[in-house]
Amino acid sequence: MMFNFASRSVSRKMFCHYQRSLEAISELQPLQHLMQRSPLPATVSTSTDCTSQVLPPVAARRHAPQPIGSCAGASSKERSGRWPRLPVLATGLLASVWAVMDDESRLFMAARFGDAQEIRQLVAAGEDVNQRHPLGWTALHVAAVRGHLEAVQALLDVGAQVDSGDEFCSVFSTAREKRINSLNVLVRREDEFSDRLNNRVSFRGCTPLHYAVLMDRHDVAAALLRAGASPVARNDSGHSPIDYARDEEMRQLLTIAEQKLVAEQKAREAEERRRFPLEKRIKEKIVGQDGAIATVASAIRRKENGWYDEEHPLVFLFLGSSGIGKTELAKQIAAYLHKNNNKGFIRLDMSEYQEKHEVAKLIGSPPGYIGHDDGGQLTKRLRGCPNAVVLFDEVDKAHADVLTVLLQLFDEGRLTDGKGRTIECKDAIFVMTSNLASNEIADHAMELRREAERLARERYEGKIDDVEFTERVNISRCFKDSVVQPILKRHFLRDEFLGRINEVVYFLPFSRPELRQLVTRELQFWADRAKKKHDIELKWDRRVLDVLVDGYNVYYGARSIKHEVERQVVNQLADAHEQQKLTPGCAVFVTVSDRAAEPGAGRSVKIQLGSGTDLEDYVSPLR
């Protein structure tokens, strides 16, 4: 009976579609030459009510089907002289509309008419409950927008994705994307989804909960929320379901669900932090720098658990030589706090703000100047995410007036743009990196590392006790006060700026075990790439690690290791590939060159090619 009713419903709408086709054709500019003999009479009805069945005059319904109208009032000569092609075109358009409509899945029809039993039978027979309509929506979207509670519950019971987003945009955008006539898209959207929605507005990203709220269906919205629908999910326009709520009851329902969701998320995050501390997460991405990671993680932990000053943002200054993980640590903080939100990390290269006038780039140009309406690079992005992690890279290169702006930002946690609007960002985290005193820190760190190794041996032999060991290791505090602080004061020229910094974090050069980890990671990176792009298996001898570690430069950090691997290993691989010695499926083994044993010869690596254990040295013809 449901499908008989559907047939009658579609048949009743056929006349409406036919009438719309005539009206649409009358407005098409390329078809004006077909209307030159007799223009479209002014009496053509523009009604879209399918039940009124107001027919156009004889000239407009010349070849219309007999059940729709009659042509008895016009002679055959008159009928043959007016619009000989227009009804044929209308019939063709109508046929194409019906042909496109005819491919609607039975699952979507069952959802459209609320047949829960049919839905369960279709899914049991193998229908994909999460299949997409040719125009982008799912069956759960249809049931939600139509307000069929039983159909919604049936779809949820058989595994429908409760937070799936609608891929339908507006009528004309979808027609352009899918290369379909816009009239076809309009007809299908209204007949197979809903005719109560604005067809000029984008609905991309809307979840079933969005549609239930739009249609004021409290029962459907409650069912979706019980099934785990997110009340904070946003569509592509940036709106959550509560933005579409029109009555207090719906708004209260969504508010309670949102509060419950936030509480559950906080509980899960707290348990996750307890089981998997921030230090452990960061150490999976960064080699070494245990002291820097511990300092930053402690400050983040205070903030996450509410043990911090809510009136001031967290401010860090990362000091150390190039290539030792300062920027990477800032990125890992943002990834930890903001997950997949790209707006949660703001990076500004302060070498672009070396001139006085470039302060306007930061906060926006004042009224009357070019770029006033564009906003500042910092203020515009902070407005989009006030609790972002902001990285001021190489802050020592910025102009003094830029530091004055940062002083206000660090002190009050707010910033005023060129238009006079204030951005509150007390919940943000600001990280500055600098190479100031990097040489002194590197030299002193190497000395400290040698001293620590000596103290460890003495402690192991029982020559010093634990108290003396602690006091002697903490002597580096004197170095910070006597060497680093004067350099910072001499450059920044103001104590109040340094006083706003919560933590000065020192990044030390890598130890030899840490360098071996860096070399291993770099070799593994090239092994993965060789397997993926060339189907080549790359392995290496452990002695290779010590040879490549020798290329480390304390002033260039991990970049020197990366360049050493490229020089000694990747160059040989590229050379062998160019000589067609590397074939898909072959094996490459990296080992220490025999020349390392020769007097005066530096240690180097070589590659061996072959398959399995049958390997032979590769000698480049260019050497």
pLDDT per position as a tens digit, 338-382: 887 888 899 999 988 888 887 778 887 666 666 656 667 888 888
Confidence band for 431, pLDDT divided at 50, 70 and 90: very high
Which range is least confidently modeled, 41-55, 466-480, 532-546? 41-55
- What is the percent of the chain where pLDDT is above 90? 14
Under CATH, to which class is 119-267 assigned?
Answer: mainly alpha
18: CB partners within 8 A, 6+ apart = 64, 68, 90, 94
Per-residue pLDDT at 15: 44
What confidence score (pLDDT) does residue 581 get? 83
pLDDT (0 to 100) of residue 211:
92
Is pLDDT above 70 for 470? no
Using the 8-state DSSP alphabet, how is residue 614 labeled? E
b/e for 431-443, b at 16 or more Cβ within 10 A?
bbbbbbbbeebbe
Has residue 87 got a pLDDT over 80? no
Q: What is the pLDDT of residues 551-560, one digit of tens each?
A: 888 888 889 9
Q: How far apart are CA 354 and CA 138, in angstroms?
A: 54
- Is the pLDDT confidence value at 77 over 70? no
With b for 16 or more beta-carbon neighbours within 10 A and e for fewer, the 182-220 pattern comes to: bbbbbbbbbbbbbeebeeeebbbbbbbbbbbbbbebeeb
- Sequence ranges of the domains in the chain: 2-101, 119-267, 279-509, 512-617
Structure tokens that stand for 509 in this block: 């050069």
Please give the C-alpha separations between residue 484 and each of 288, 499, 555, in angstroms, as whole numbers.
Answer: 22, 15, 17
pLDDT at 599 over 80: no
CB 374 within 8 A of CB 332: no
Of 72-76, 588-592, 615-619, give the lowest mean pLDDT range: 72-76
Report which DSSP code applies to 39: P
**pLDDT surpassing 70 at residue 210:** yes
pLDDT tens column, 223-280: 999 998 999 898 888 899 999 988 888 999 999 999 898 888 888 877 877 777 888 8
Rounded Cα distance between 287 and 442, Å, is 17
Which residue would you say has higher pLDDT here, 75 or 52?
Answer: 75
Of all residues in the chain, the percent with pLDDT exceeding 70 is 75
622 pLDDT tier (thresholds 50, 70, 90) = low
What average pLDDT score do residues 448-466 get?
A: 63
User: Closest Cα partner for 85 from 46, 33, 45, 44?
Assistant: 33
Is the pLDDT confidence value at 333 over 70?
yes
Instruction: Check whether 44 has a pLDDT greater than 80.
Output: no
Paired strand residues for 346: 390
Kindly report which listed range (76-80, 433-437, 478-482) carries the lowest average pLDDT score: 76-80
Per-residue confidence (pLDDT) for residue 623, from 0 to 100: 60
Q: What is the CATH number of domain 512-617?
A: 1.10.8.60
Instruction: Report how far residue 591's alpha carbon sits from residue 589's, in angstroms, rounded to the nearest whole number.
Output: 6
3-state secondary structure of 53: coil
Q: 15 near 54, Cβ under 8 Å?
A: no
- 119-267 matches 279-509 in fold: no
Residue 60 CA to residue 30 CA, distance in Å, equals 18
What sign does the dihedral 150-153-157-159 (CA atoms) show? Answer: positive
Q: Report which DSSP code applies to 75.
A: -
3-state secondary structure 489-515: HHHHCCHHHHHCCCEEEECCCCCHHHH
Residue 48 vs residue 162, higher pLDDT: 162
Q: What is the CATH number of domain 279-509?
A: 3.40.50.300
Amino acid at 18: Y
What is the Cβ-side half-sphere exposure of residue 465, based on CA atoms within 13 angstroms?
A: 1
First-to-last C-alpha distance (Å) of the chain: 85
Q: Please give the full DSSP string across 512-569, using - where no structure is assigned.
A: HHHHHHHHHHHHHHHHHHHHHHH--EEEE-THHHHHHHTT--TTTTHHHHHHHHIIII
